[in-house]
Structure 1
Amino acid sequence: MNRIRTLLHHQLVWPALTLVLLFALDLAHRASFLSVTLLDGHLFGAPIDILNRAAPLVIVSLGMTLVIATRGIDISVGAIVAIAGAAAAIVLQEDPSRVGGALLAALGVGVLAGVWNGVLVAFVGMQPIIATLILMVAGRGVAQLLTSGQIIPIGAPGYLKLGDGYFATVPCSVWIAIAVTAVTALLIHRTALGLFIRSIGVNPVATRLVGLRSGAIVFSVYVFCGAMAAIAGIIASSNVRSADGNNAGLLLELDAILAVTLGGTSLLGGRFSLAGTVLGALIIQTLTYTTYSIGVPPEATLVVKAVVVIVVSMIQSEATRRLLVRQIRRVLPSAQPGAATGSTTS
């Protein structure tokens, strides 16, 4: 019984189970769902497509995880994605060979946006949702100004390989997401940064009283989140071969928040899981794929996604877990204390 209780309380159990159930639903609808084929040196198939489409969301969600772990929020990441793509497109429009300059421009505006958010939250003391709401609104306008309200096509081959190319038979965007996840995990688990972020999320006042520079750490996570959004903007603009200041990254901030919460990260701060965030992003992308593949009307897709998120979130709650444990005790009498060693006396 203790093992069952421990398993039910593990952060990754319910996200992993949700992903498995979505895969099972896809398999029931189409038996070849998990089949992957090699064609012209490239892997093709539904799992590869899901990984490719989920890569930008995974990257943005990693940055969002660290922000939420410090009791913050960043709803401007979608606008930063649009600005980064627009900045790269402008550089490439002048000279398609300046791929390096385009990448630096995109990363530069992402870091600058993160600095803006970080200063407002960490040093000015503005509420995170208000500070990032400012950039969410203004940033979308900045992206449209950079593109003059038009869709700027991108034709630089070197740049397009980042979102639409392949390396070792796997899409480059997947490799980028893996690299970003690995670097983030090393920073969090192999340095003191992870401990500091958890401390700020659990008790920011106590953290400040013991001498930890919490303002600098909060500032750094917003800068990191802006950089992650910029990388996602590079992949997104490369994948669609254009920069669209109006639609690029639209509602991506909501998917990122959902991915983080589905992965078991607490919105109250302190408790977070990078692995859970990756699973959450895969759940959202798989759910999108599933709704389209089984014929759900596009206008109902968001409703279906909301229902799934509600169900998974309810299952992850402590009250629901206690209810599940009680039900398991009723179904499995042998799990009751003393049941296995019960004996009769004469």
Structure 2
Amino acid sequence: MSDNGTGPAGFLKEVVRRQYFWGVVAIVLLLLVNLTKDPSYLSIGWNDANGALVGNLVDILRAAAPIMMISIGMCLVIATSGIDLSVGSVMVIAGAVSMQFLAAAPNTFAGAMAALGLALLVSAVVGLVNGILVSVVGLQPFISTLIMMLAGRGIAKVITGGQNTSAVNDSFRWIANGYLFGLPVVFLLALAIVVLVGLLVRRSALGLMIEAIGMDPQAARLAGVNRRGLLLAVYSISGLLSGVAGVFATASVMTVDISRTGYQLEMDAILAVVIGGTSLAGGKFNLTGATVGALLIATLDKTVVFLGVSSSATPAFKAVVIVVLCLIQSDRVRQLLRSRRTTGSRPSRKEAVAA
């Protein structure tokens, strides 16, 4: 059967060509590594007390939810040839706003919704400020978001008076700790938001316009694309999704830790986006790949803890896994390996003459 790009062989080749395929492979390998240490690692149980599935896989899904949110926002920003280093700081701002509000609000559903709305509004405004600095003022995205990254935790300290603030609200806590159909609500919400954003950018011209300003801003302007408006929208969306991640992270313990909430998660978001196949040069983005990257980061974090890797060696362990994965994804590396196999299979000069 000829390989004309159709049939099982063609489908498999197309799947392997997608960069996030190797992210899926890495997730499977990490789970298998954990399985060798504990044969029951992948077992799933049922908790009759709260009607929920329990197990390590469920914990990974819950941990992946905030990373998914900031990765999706980061993916859109990077597609415009930008970067958003402030996502971790926006998370702590959202957490500070929600906890400070709930500390003085009654333990009611209305109070939880008010805190959620206020936190997301503030987060979107912070993202909008980033967009204004980039599109209107003309600052480099790296500098603009670095400023907000440094200022964000200071803003959170002003909101909470410099203290880690706790609150009590059952409805708000349910967002991160509740279950629906046996699965964590936080993961289902994150997945629903990913699907909605995906439909927004792929079922409309928005995605193409975002890619256009990332590939060639001048050509996009001549084609009538409103670059300024798109940048404002993209950075606002990134801020909004970071606020959602901040709510997820804060609601799980009903406490905002000014120093730790969202700390260095901007690095995880960038890694997840790159693992998913989105180029840092901009112009193209892959939301499915970013979601796979977020799941890989969460799996890697859980694996580090499960294997008992010391905290001092954890960054090095994660770096090795990420570097190996990026090398596997690299087209240049794959071409080099193919060329070596081709060279190795060719007959030597003497064998060719003898033949």
TM-score (norm 2): 0.90
Q: What residue number does 2:79 align with?
A: 69
Q: What residue number does 1:116 align with?
A: 129
Determine if contact 2:71/2:272 at 8 Å carries over to the other structure. Answer: yes
Distance 1:243 1:295 in 2: 27
Q: What residue number does 2:29 align with?
A: 21
Q: What residue number does 1:59 align with?
A: 69
Alpha-carbon shift at residue 324 of structure 1 (Å): 3.0
Distance 2:202 2:245 in 1: 23
Alpha-carbon shift at residue 12 of structure 1 (Å): 2.4
Consecutive unaligned residues in structure 2, runs of 5 or more: 347-355
Alpha-carbon shift at residue 9 of structure 1 (Å): 2.9
Deviations 1:6-45 (A, max 9, x none): 5543222211211121122111221112111011211100
1:331–1:14 Cα change, 3 Å: farther
Distance 2:98 2:246 in 1: 9
Q: Given the alignment of the two structures, is residue 199 of structure 1 paired with residue 220 of structure 2, yes or no?
A: no
Distance 1:200 1:328 in 2: 40
Determine if contact 1:53/1:285 at 8 Å carries over to the other structure. Answer: yes
Q: Given the alignment of the two structures, is residue 32 of structure 1 paired with residue 40 of structure 2, yes or no?
A: yes
Q: What residue number does 1:159 align with?
A: 172
Alpha-carbon shift at residue 320 of structure 1 (Å): 0.5
Distance 2:343 2:194 in 1: 42
Deviations 1:85-135 (A, max 9, x none): 110111111113311210111001101101100001111111001000111
Distance 2:186 2:46 in 1: 18
The structure 1 segments of at least 4 consecutive aligned residues displaced by more than 4 Å after TM superposition are: 1-8, 327-333
Distance 1:180 1:332 in 2: 50
Q: Given the alignment of the two structures, is residue 10 of structure 1 paired with residue 23 of structure 2, yes or no?
A: no
Alpha-carbon shift at residue 329 of structure 1 (Å): 4.4
Q: Given the alignment of the two structures, is residue 224 of structure 1 paired with residue 237 of structure 2, yes or no?
A: yes
Deviations 1:200-254 (A, max 9, x none): 1111111011111111111110000000000011111101221122221010111
Distance 1:261 1:332 in 2: 34
Aligned residue pairs total: 333
Which amino acid counterpart does residue 311 of structure 2 have in structure 1? Answer: P
RMSD (Å) for aligned C-alpha atoms? 1.7
Determine if contact 1:93/1:154 at 8 Å carries over to the other structure. Answer: yes
1:42 to 48, 52, 59: 52
Equivalent residues in 2 for 1:1-346, closer than 5 Å: 3=10, 6-40=14-48, 41-96=51-106, 97=108, 98-327=111-340, 329=342
Alpha-carbon shift at residue 325 of structure 1 (Å): 2.5
Q: What residue number does 1:342 align with?
A: none
Determine if contact 2:135/2:228 at 8 Å carries over to the other structure. Answer: yes
In structure 2, the residue corresponding to 1:233 is in which secondary structure? helix
Which amino acid counterpart does residue 91 of structure 1 have in structure 2? Answer: F
Distance 1:331 1:175 in 2: 50
Determine if contact 1:8/1:321 at 8 Å carries over to the other structure. Answer: no
Which amino acid counterpart does residue 59 of structure 1 have in structure 2? Answer: M
Identity within the alignment, %: 41
1:211–1:278 Cα change, 3 Å: same
Consecutive unaligned residues in structure 1, runs of 5 or more: 334-346
Distance 1:178 1:10 in 2: 21
Distance 1:232 1:154 in 2: 18
Q: What residue number does 1:337 align with?
A: none
Which amino acid counterpart does residue 93 of structure 1 have in structure 2? Answer: A
Determine if contact 2:276/2:293 at 8 Å carries over to the other structure. Answer: yes
Q: Greater shift after overlay, 277-286 or 146-155?
A: 146-155
In structure 2, the residue corresponding to 1:266 is in which secondary structure? coil
Determine if contact 1:9/1:321 at 8 Å carries over to the other structure. Answer: no
Distance 1:254 1:152 in 2: 25
Distance 1:194 1:331 in 2: 44
Q: What residue number does 2:350 align with?
A: none
Determine if contact 2:19/2:275 at 8 Å carries over to the other structure. Answer: no
TM-score (norm 1): 0.92
1:5–1:182 Cα change, 3 Å: closer
Which amino acid counterpart does residue 70 of structure 1 have in structure 2? Answer: T
Which amino acid counterpart does residue 157 of structure 2 have in structure 1? Answer: Q
Determine if contact 1:143/1:246 at 8 Å carries over to the other structure. Answer: no
In structure 1, the residue corresponding to 2:165 is in which secondary structure? strand
Q: Greater shift after overlay, 286-295 or 226-235?
A: 286-295
Q: Greater shift after overlay, 258-267 or 15-24?
A: 15-24
In structure 2, the residue corresponding to 1:38 is in which secondary structure? strand
